[in-house]
Structure 1
């Protein structure tokens, strides 16, 4: 079967650059959208990344979210659009810019699959999220509503916890490195969490785009060996490092009280952690008929286990 032509929107971002590489590696003709302003001096890193994509075989497409016609023209060149805007979910205003992309896809009328920018918790299951973090989920659901009302073929990706943000630091807030002496344990520390290597997120995402089994469904990235409690994750690090960390338990009330003097962005982060580590929002449900699990669909993907991931921090 001929592989789809893929347009990556947000290709220089945290997940986007991985999606570009995965798309090329899996043999797709890959286009990367870039802004007309990319040549300004402040964007030199992004420009160099785009040029490296071009050297690897990607095609660069110039368009602007403020120019509807340019978006339509870009979309018409491909079969699949993968949007990876706003890898940092706090920048929620970027999420809603996808409404412009949806309008372009709707007008172009040729797209076989659209993957919107989600890649975290499933927003459809976060209707009861606490206020500071809820806006992100509400806006993602607004995007879903627009996609479905426009009858655009789609796949939603629920990638759970990116390892660089949640694994390497043993899920400690405020750092990206493993603690040297003390680890804070959220509640019992026995809630199941799902940790994902970001390159594996990209590999699974690209696998989905030509698969009829994932059409108009949510694909959950839940590889069995990466479903771990916080205590299990810490134990893996202690075993690799040959140490034993002091562990301090943080109750739910203490954890939420820590938000009192934080700015909005940090409050959002605390709320996400609360839903993940205290409520178990990633694993407290069964995948129904409207979803699929990626590692079962694609057993050929050799995903990175977290003990292997942690070795880079030794």
Structure 2
């Protein structure tokens, strides 16, 4: 592997660059993390799993990463040695494996990744798959959605028990899924005539452009201020109530929408007729829009991404929504 370089501020760098391995790099947020790490100047590796098979879009994505300067590393979760070998190439490992709303391979794969990191013994920072609600604050979440948070806490417990330096990045709703549709179910574009408002619509929610989330993640990996810390992505101009989000769209489009307020009891009433994954999603939505689980606690300036990295000019939702005009 050659000279691993010197250690700076708790992160080993090679040739002045932090070596980052992204696991799940072809996923929804993973592909953005890969590009953000490259843009940040990190020496970026992407785990290439044999399970990719004949998925031509993922193969082409991996090739596009190579053109940008990333290095592809073969490794399989069914081959522990290959995983350890891949991990040994990196100073920092970022997991971007997508999860589902019930116990899945995701947690099992992350636990295998932790085992590989522990055995490799060289990783100076691990960022597990998080990026949403803070699982440490969701112990009373509605079932079955609570399983998601329980699993993430299980991963955290394994990380901390192994003594692996880490950073947890979380705290916002991805704009493509929650802002562009004005937080409506079963659509990803703004409604044209009517809009459902959850409760009184005055609960504060945090929205973030996915590319901005990736940029913040890439910033944290070699920042000594974020070692063994939680970084919350809470850009102040994107902390909006549901009514404020709808109001932004109405101003941009020049059209007022008819508003139907949905009471909490009515919102939850149909859960029992849904599949488990849908029930979990509804529960998560409820905690965000009715209980304000993203904003019902204080975050210090030393743990909020836009304060830590003011050089990231994040996308405001009034600008983001213009793409739908």
SS at match of 1:5: strand
Tell me, which stretches of 5 or more residues in structure 1 are unaligned? none
Equivalent pair of 1:92/1:139 in contact (CA under 8 Å): no
Q: Helix, strand or coil for the counterpart of 2:196?
A: strand
User: Are 2:14 and 1:3 aligned?
Assistant: no
Tell me the CA shift for residue 90 of structure 1: 5.3
**How far apart, in 1, do the equivalents of 2:102 and 2:231 lie?**
23
Give the one of 15, 22, 37 matched to 2:29: 15
Say whether the 8 Å CA contact 2:103–2:147 is kept in structure 1.
no
Residue 206 of structure 1 is matched in structure 2 by 218
Aligned runs of 1:19-168 on 2, under 5 Å? 19-38=33-52, 40-41=53-54, 43-86=55-98, 92-168=104-180
Instruction: Summarize the Cα distance change of 1:87–1:15 in structure 2 as closer, same or farther, 3 Å threshold.
Output: farther
SS of 1:285's partner is coil
> Contact (CA 8 Å) 2:205, 2:289: kept in 1 or not?
yes
Contact 1:3 1:210 in 2 (8 A): no
**What is the alpha-carbon root mean square deviation over aligned residues?**
1.4
| TM-score, reference length from structure 1 | 0.96
Aligned to 1:237: 249
Any conservation in 2 of the 1:14–1:87 contact (CA below 8 Å)? no
Q: Which residue of 1 aligns with 2:3?
A: none
Shift of 1:91: 6.9
User: Aligned partners of 1:299 and 1:157: how far apart in 2?
Assistant: 16
Alignment size in residue pairs: 311
State the 1:234 CA deviation: 0.2
Is the Cα contact below 8 Å between 1:95 and 1:117 reproduced in 2? no
Residue aligning to 2:308: 297
Asked if residue 286 in structure 1 is aligned to residue 298 in structure 2, the reply is: yes
In the alignment, the residues of structure 1 paired with residue 48 and residue 171 of structure 2 have an alpha-carbon distance, to the nearest angstrom, of 25
Matched residue of 2:146: which SS?
A: helix
CA–CA distance in structure 1, aligned partners of residues 102 and 226 of structure 2? 28
**Is 1:313 paired with 2:319?**
no
Q: The residue matched to 1:218 in structure 2 has which SS?
A: strand
Q: What secondary structure does 1:148 align onto?
A: helix
Q: Secondary structure at the match of 1:268?
A: helix
Residues 1:269 and 2:281 aligned together: yes
2:171 and 2:294 in contact (8 A); partners too? no
